[in-house]
Amino acid sequence: MRRVLVTGGGTGIGRAIAHAFDDAGDAVTIVGRRPEPLAETAQGRDIACRTVDITDEAQVDALFDQPFDVVVANAGGGGAGKLTKLLLADWNATLAVNLTGTFLTFRAALRTLQQDARLIAIASTAALKGNASVPAYTAAKHGVLGLVRSIALDIAKSGATCNAICPGFTDTDLADTAITGLMTHLDKTRDEAMQMVASGNPQARLITPLEVAATALFLASLEASAINGHALSVSGGEI
């Protein structure tokens, strides 16, 4: 039985990934800053919960009292705003949760690296192209991809792999916030706002968390052992 860690496992993509690995028979641990969503994710399942701020070095290091076979660095987020309006505090916070959190998680994982371990970062299509509306988030996710590619080279001979999944706009609370914002600021109906959010996807829809979770299961599989340092776009053709 593999030991699997999922950061940001209380909601959205993290919850779907945690459930997918649990359904596969793995021993799953989820972490996040808020205990309530973690408990909701684990309800009725044999999933361990730990309240952790992944931007805190000591808290992250303490997670790895035992090694994990699969580590999914999923925690992240960030608001919209043009660069000239972006506050330094918001820039720092966005980099901290997306990039520094991934760095701390993977660094701790590497210190206890298991043979055939799988490190998976949940990045974004924002790691693969620019986005004027979310410059801090885009910069952070580009950094995550650079980190993934560097780690992949470092561990290549060990049998372990490190990859990134880059979803397009996914049907989560983050997408709902974007839709609600468009409804408020542009006086759009929900359907109109949904179409605007989904317009970047040539399939004209949101990605589902289950699709991202299935991709994580594949990258963690034995059959994916030759995939290393890769950014796998799950975006309907956006990238």
The residues annotated as belonging to the active site are 137
CA-CA distance, 8 to 15, in Å (whole number)? 8
Tell me how crowded residue 43 is: count the other CB atoms within 10 A of its CB: 8
DSSP one-letter string for 220-232: TSGGGTT--S-EE
79-115 CB burial, b ≥16 within 10 A, e <16: bbbeeeebeeeebebbbbbbbbbbbbbbebbbeebbe
- Of 134, 127, 144, 142, the C-alpha closest to 86 is 134
**C-alpha triplet 227, 99, 219: angle, nearest 5°:** 20
CA-CA distance, 71 to 68, in Å (whole number)? 6
